[in-house]
């Protein structure tokens, strides 16, 4: 079981996951480290399941 | 704006592909669709529902230094308002540049009234926002 990582105001530990990237029509991978290295903000948008309304 | 929206569900990247290709409402989607098989990331953010093995509707804004600045979680049956998400995001950008300011609830964009927390403001918020 993974512990909840962070309250608001805390530093988020690195994470990575596989992605589908519609802009490229290809699979990819994304990590918080890469986002930070590129000086980007990250907006995570969780939803229950594909093929349902978001 | 130097930001990336990443949508995340417990579906595989293959299902993401199929859904994005199939659903006309998603034809213009440009953001990466993350696959959180097993819900590890959803658990990290406290939005994993053990009963259903699905992620609740959680929205999290992380700044370029890796700090979590906003968290919002809705149950399955309530969609999110993208205007409110953008309001929070714009406020974060503004506050990063203006560290002594605070954005009140009605703040929508740069130029709107902000507050400067100080001794003078205590008990005088109403006047400050007039």
Q: What is the pLDDT of residues B38-51, one digit of tens each?
A: 999 999 999 999 99
Find the domain containing B35 and state its range.
7-80
Question: Is B96 a domain residue?
Answer: no
ipTM of the prediction:
0.92
Does the pTM of the predicted model rise above 0.80?
Answer: yes
The verdict on B61 touching A (C-beta cutoff 8 Å) is yes
Residue B65 included in any domain: yes
Of the partner residues B18, B32, B85, the one whose CB lies closest to the CB of residue A28: B32
Instruction: Delimit the domains of chain A by residue range.
Output: 14-39
Does residue B31 fall inside a structural domain? yes
Largest CA distance in chain B: 57
Q: A4 — phi, psi (to 5°)?
A: -65, 130
Task: Domain count for chain B, please give it.
Answer: 1
Strand order in the sheet with B33-35: A26-31, A16-21, B33-35, B3-9, A41-46, B57-62, B68-74
pLDDT band at A2 (very low <50, low <70, confident <90, very high): low
- With respect to residue B63, please indicate whether it lies within any of the assigned structural domains: yes
The reply to whether residue A20 touches residue B17, judged by beta carbons under 8 angstroms, is yes
Q: What is the CATH number of the domain that holds B25?
A: 3.40.30.10
CA gyration radius, chain B: 18
Of B100, B96, B82, which is closest to residue B31 (Cα–Cα)?
Answer: B82
Helix (H, G, I), strand (E, B) or coil at B88: helix
Give domain status of residue B103, yes or no. no
Q: Is residue B45 part of a domain?
A: yes
CA distance B51 to B39: 12
pLDDT for position B1: 55
A2 touches B40 (CB < 8 A): yes
Residue A53 has pLDDT above 80, yes or no: no
């Amino acid at each position: 079981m993974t512990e909840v990582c962070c309250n608001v105001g805390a530093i988020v530990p690195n994470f990575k996951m596989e992605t589908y990237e519609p802009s490229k029509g290809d699979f990819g991978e994304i990590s918080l480290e890469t986002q930070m290295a590129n000086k980007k903000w990250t907006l995570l948008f969780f939803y229950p399941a594909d093929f349902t309304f978001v | 704006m130097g930001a990336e929206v990443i949508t995340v569900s417990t579906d595989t990247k293959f299902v993401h592909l199929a859904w994005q290709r199939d659903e006309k409402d998603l034809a213009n989607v440009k953001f990466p669709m993350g696959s959180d098989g097993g819900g590890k990331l959803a658990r990290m953010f406290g939005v994993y529902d053990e009963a259903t093995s699905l992620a609740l509707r959680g929205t999290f804004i992380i700044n370029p230094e890796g700090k979590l600045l906003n968290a919002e979680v809705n149950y399955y049956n309530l969609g999110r308002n993208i205007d409110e998400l953008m309001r929070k995001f714009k406020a974060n950008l503004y506050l990063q540049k203006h560290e002594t300011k605070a954005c009140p609830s009605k703040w929508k964009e740069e130029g709107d009234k902000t507050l400067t927390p100080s001794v003078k403001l205590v008990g005088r918020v109403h006047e400050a926002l007039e």
